[in-house]
């Protein structure tokens, strides 16, 4: 087991590395790694430098590349303002799932994250907030006991300190390796958010590509304001499962952020490059005060 101080150092190191050379975390550059990258949507090649300047959005078509938690913080929060909340990641292996603890440990070493959800306090354009970011490179951002606990603690911290809560979701849903314990996190996170809401807390949820399963069906959908990045896949079950269950062909664009916005499920789709300004504006509109000093 890696000791917590070393792990935290790894995380901070990763944040610094990303600041110097912003790249998607957890993707090791292979030998002779290409300097250009072809967009999976339009095929246009862009240099990695250009993509980084553009916050990993294709300059030609606006395709939003999935990004990791540290890179998200790098482009969103005020420099030097992020402080990780110690979520005390519980080790849950209730099914005695083959190789699960080893896999977790290897991912922690590789990513510098303790689990799929990174939580902390930060400032966004001067507004103090509690932030949570799911990282898709950590077991598909799936929700097990550690994610549920970290989210619940972040909610409680926001409540105790009268701070707004902002969560970026990117998830394959509940973590199958933890069986029923992972499903219980849906109730746990929802209950924590309900209490936060009753006490007047403001919760902003941002869907990113892809957000599915138990995360969509719990905390990601419970925001006072629901935003999404363009083109994000948002759903519970996959389209094939639904088609087989209901015996009908699904409409075009079903489960995309655009479809959901059109049908009233989302408040707004916001380009990644405009998210910082939009979030700051929303915090101001909800009565939070901007402070310039850390």
Residue 46 CB, nearest approach to Zn ion (Å): 8
Q: Where are the beta strands (DSSP E) in the chain?
A: 36-38, 45-47, 83-84, 117-124, 127-134, 165-171, 203-211, 225-228, 268-269
Residue 57 CB, nearest approach to Zn ion (Å): 9
Please report the sign of the dihedral spanned by the C-alpha atoms of residue 253, residue 257, residue 258, residue 259: positive
Q: Which of 18, 23, 26, 39 binds Zn ion (CB under 5 A)?
A: 39
Q: Which of 27, 38, 60, 250 binds Zn ion (CB under 5 A)?
A: 60
Q: Does 254 interact with Zn ion (rule: CB under 5 A)? A: no
Residue 38 CB, nearest approach to Zn ion (Å): 9
Q: Is 42 or 49 the residue whose CB approaches Zn ion more closely?
A: 42
Number of C-beta neighbours around residue 191 at 10 A: 13
Q: Is 39 or 275 the residue whose CB approaches Zn ion more closely?
A: 39
Q: CA 121 to CA 132: how far, in whole Å?
A: 9
Using CA atoms in the order 121, 276, 294, 156, what is the torsion angle rounded to 10 degrees?
-20
Residue 177 CB, nearest approach to Zn ion (Å): 35
Q: Does 63 interact with Zn ion (rule: CB under 5 A)? A: yes
Q: Is 63 or 254 the residue whose CB approaches Zn ion more closely?
A: 63
Q: Is 128 or 272 the residue whose CB approaches Zn ion more closely?
A: 272
From 187, 168, 183, select the one nearest 234 (Cα to Cα): 168
Q: Is 63 or 157 the residue whose CB approaches Zn ion more closely?
A: 63
Q: Does 19 interact with Zn ion (rule: CB under 5 A)? A: no
Q: Which of 8, 19, 41, 188 binds Zn ion (CB under 5 A)?
A: 41
Size of the residue set binding Zn ion (CB under 5 A): 8
- Between helices 69-76 and 4-20, what is the axis angle to 10°? 50
Q: Does 38 interact with Zn ion (rule: CB under 5 A)? A: no
- Of 25-33, 43-51, 67-75, 167-175, the window that binds Zn ion (rule: CB under 5 A) is 43-51
Residue 17 CB, nearest approach to Zn ion (Å): 26
The CA-CA-CA angle for residues 109, 152, 88, to 5°, reads 35
Q: CA 89 to CA 175: how far, in whole Å?
A: 15
Tell me which DSSP letter residue 163 carries.
-
> DSSP readout, 40-68?
TTT--EEEHHHHHHTTTB-TTT--B----
Q: Which of 58, 107, 124, 130 binds Zn ion (CB under 5 A)?
A: 58
Residue 54 CB, nearest approach to Zn ion (Å): 11
> Phi, psi (5° rounding) for residue 46?
-130, 150
Could you tell me which residues come within 8 angstroms of residue 37 by beta carbon, excluding any fewer than 6 positions away? 45, 46, 47, 48, 51
Residue 61 CB, nearest approach to Zn ion (Å): 3
Q: CA 84 to CA 114: how far, in whole Å?
A: 11
Q: Which of 33, 49, 61, 277 binds Zn ion (CB under 5 A)?
A: 61
Q: CA 70 to CA 25: how far, in whole Å?
A: 7
Q: Does 192 interact with Zn ion (rule: CB under 5 A)? A: no
Residue 30 CB, nearest approach to Zn ion (Å): 22
Residues forming the site for Zn ion (CB under 5 A): 39, 41-42, 44, 58, 60-61, 63
């Amino acid at each position: 087991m890696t000791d917590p101080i070393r792990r935290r150092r790894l995380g901070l190191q990763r944040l610094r590395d990303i600041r110097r050379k912003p790249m998607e975390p957890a993707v090791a550059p292979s030998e002779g790694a290409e300097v250009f990258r072809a967009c999976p949507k339009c095929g246009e090649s862009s240099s990695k430098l250009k993509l980084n300047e553009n916050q990993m959005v294709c300059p030609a078509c606006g395709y939003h590349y999935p990004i990791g938690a540290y890179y998200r913080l790098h482009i969103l929060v005020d420099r030097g303002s992020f402080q990780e909340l110690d979520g005390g990641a519980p080790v849950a292996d209730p099914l005695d799932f083959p190789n699960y603890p080893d896999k977790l440990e290897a991912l922690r070493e590789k990513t510098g994250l303790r689990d799929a959800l990174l939580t902390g306090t930060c400032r966004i354009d001067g507004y103090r907030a509690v932030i949570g970011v799911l990282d898709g490179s950590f077991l598909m951002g799936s929700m097990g006991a550690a994610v549920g606990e970290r989210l619940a603690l972040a909610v409680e911290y926001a409540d105790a300190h009268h701070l707004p809560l902002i969560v970026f979701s990117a998830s394959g849903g509940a973590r199958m390796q933890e069986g029923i314990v992972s499903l219980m996190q849906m109730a746990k996170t929802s209950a924590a958010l309900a209490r936060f809401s009753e006490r007047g807390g403001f919760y902003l949820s941002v869907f990113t590509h892809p957000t599915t399963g138990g995360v969509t069906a719990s905390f990601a959908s419970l925001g006072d304001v629901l935003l999404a990045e363009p083109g994000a896949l948002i759903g519970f079950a996959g389209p094939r499962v639904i088609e087989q269950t209901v015996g009908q062909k699904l409409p075009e664009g079903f489960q995309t952020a655009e479809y959901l916005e059109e049908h009233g499920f989302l408040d707004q789709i916001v380009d990644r490059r405009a998210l910082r300004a939009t979030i700051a504006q929303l915090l101001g509109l909800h009565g939070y005060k901007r402070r310039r000093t850390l």
